[in-house]
Amino acid sequence: MSEQPKVRTTEGLVQGRRRHGHAVFRGIPYARPPVGALRFAAPAPPHRWEGTRQAIEFGPVVPLSLPIDVPPQGTDWLTLNVGTPDPGAAGLPVLVWIPVGGYLSAASSDPMYDPAALAEAGVVVVTVNCRVGAEGFAFLDDAPPNRGLLDQIAALEWVQRNIAAFGGDPGKVTVGGVSAGAGSVAALLTMTSARGLFRRAIAHSVPGLHSTPALARQVTAAFADRLGAAAPTAEALRDIDPWRLAAELTSFNAGLHAHRESWGRLTDTGTALCPVVDGEVLPETPWPALTGGRASGTELLVGHTRDEFRYFSVMSGRYGTFTEEDARAALELHAPRPDGARAYRAAFPQAGPEELVETVYSDALFRMPSQKLAEANAVAGGTSYLFELCWVAPVLGGILGACHSLDVPLAFGTLDSPVGTQLIGEDPTSEAVALSRELHEAWVRFVTTGDAGWPAHRPGGHLTRVLDAESKTLPYPEQASRRIWEGRSPAPFDLS
């Protein structure tokens, strides 16, 4: 048996293992455990160690605020994993993947993010655990805001220090994510502390989820009051078990509708705690920052699915039940003011309540933030490649449509992962395999050269790669929605 691979990082020697023709190193700390005096603090540099650290197992999962039963693990949450074609290589492109969902979960161990196919194609893959939920995004009076984003920057700094030892090129780093991970990527585009840490970006299904400080302060105060804490401060919350805090946030999120009168649009997202536009850590949202010249454009691969909201409506049991009252509420909360509700009804005159609900939620939460990020990045001097996935998930008789997250196992080539089989089936068709190959190859080409393989998306042209059984490059398919949102950027949630 060949010797297991070893790499010397700036903190010490790590030993991984060989797997399917590449090397993997798991659970490497990029910051100290954020517990005790470091809880709710900015990430602190990791400790050094003597001897050889075994990097065989994934690090502990961060406390998750989701309605699933994950047993508490250790507290060394701030770790990352590296999959590399060859630690002895040099100059390989690097993808740093941020696996954040809903700003509530971050599990780099998810088999959907297995690096095997990308490593086989010559890419070094880094997957990152970071703080989410209350640990990462509660707006506390005596703690830095947006700690989850600060963790991501600390991980990118680790990559700059160490990735060459794993065969990667620190000058060819692409940062990527889906959903809240894509929102994190969009935020990093605007943060001065992230400049120089990556060259390119991939963002699938960018959400428009940000809060103003006024709203974030009130939400966190209500959450602290629910916990019986004396104040919305790190000092008051520090002694509460992290997994209890996460469980309480799950319950808190489930009851957001009760606060609709004062908290407005936020209550319709199921996510009480998200990035705060605090003016310092996160100076502003990415769209005005890019179009206003306060952030520089980059090479950006961004896209969304056609039926973004379908997954959520099916999984919640609401699909097929939406009423005219639901449509009116969705338009009132999420259509752009002042005349967006009227514009949607005019643009989709034959649409019933179900289609209106699905269209406005898909647009407001993912499709328009993604398309507008492509445009804003181009205005800022960057090159944007936009896609829309229109291929229908074949499971459940096709009811899921081209739903949220369907594109991720296709791009990673992990069709046999739990999410892959849930959406695509246990025996992928030749059509699914071919589409996966196309998107996967676009990723590899992009992280290697900065070119996704189709014409760039520019203001006025709006060219988009429409991914389907027979993919084509066409003008942006959602033109009616784009016109409704023209001149408007996703605005931070605020007090009503």
Q: What's the number of CA atoms in the CB half-sphere (13 Å) around residue 450? A: 11
Task: Scan for tokens 């709710």, then name that residue.
Answer: 40
404, 316 in Cβ contact below 8 A? no
What does the alpha-carbon distance between residue 414 and residue 351 come to, in Å, rounded to a whole number? 36
The confidence score (pLDDT) of residue 423 equals 96
Mean pLDDT per 10-residue segment, the chain (496 residues): 86 96 97 97 97 97 83 90 97 98 94 97 98 97 97 98 98 98 97 96 97 98 96 96 95 95 93 96 97 96 98 94 96 94 97 97 98 97 98 95 97 97 96 98 98 94 96 97 94 93
Nearest to 442 by CA among 427, 464, 459: 464
The confidence score (pLDDT) of residue 243 equals 94
The confidence score (pLDDT) of residue 2 equals 57
What domains appear along the chain, each with residue ranges and CATH number?
Answer: 6-211+280-307+365-485 (3.40.50.1820)
318 CB neighbour count, 10 Å cutoff = 14
Nearest to 113 by CA among 92, 97, 129: 97
Task: Scan for tokens 């293992």, then name that residue.
Answer: 17
The confidence score (pLDDT) of residue 401 equals 97
**Could you tell me where the DSSP H helices lie in 228-319?**
234-237, 242-254, 260-263, 286-291, 310-315
The confidence score (pLDDT) of residue 369 equals 98
18, 11 in Cβ contact below 8 A? no
83, 405 in Cβ contact below 8 A? no
Nearest to 413 by CA among 398, 428, 402, 400: 428
The confidence score (pLDDT) of residue 20 equals 84
Annotated active-site positions, please? Answer: 179, 308, 404
The answer for residues whose C-beta is within 8 angstroms of residue 157's C-beta and 6 or more apart is: 30, 197
- With left for phi above 0 and alpha for psi between -120 and 50, is residue 119 left, alpha or beta? alpha
Asked if the bond preceding 232 is cis, omega within 30° of 0, the reply is no
What does the alpha-carbon distance between residue 393 and residue 403 come to, in Å, rounded to a whole number? 7
Task: Scan for tokens 């693990």, then name that residue.
Answer: 73
CA distances from 296 to 186, 190, 201, 241, 487 (A): 12, 8, 13, 41, 20
What does the alpha-carbon distance between residue 273 and residue 211 come to, in Å, rounded to a whole number? 8
Which two three-digit tokens encode residue 321? 């039940």
234, 140 in Cβ contact below 8 A? yes
What does the alpha-carbon distance between residue 400 and residue 233 come to, in Å, rounded to a whole number? 42
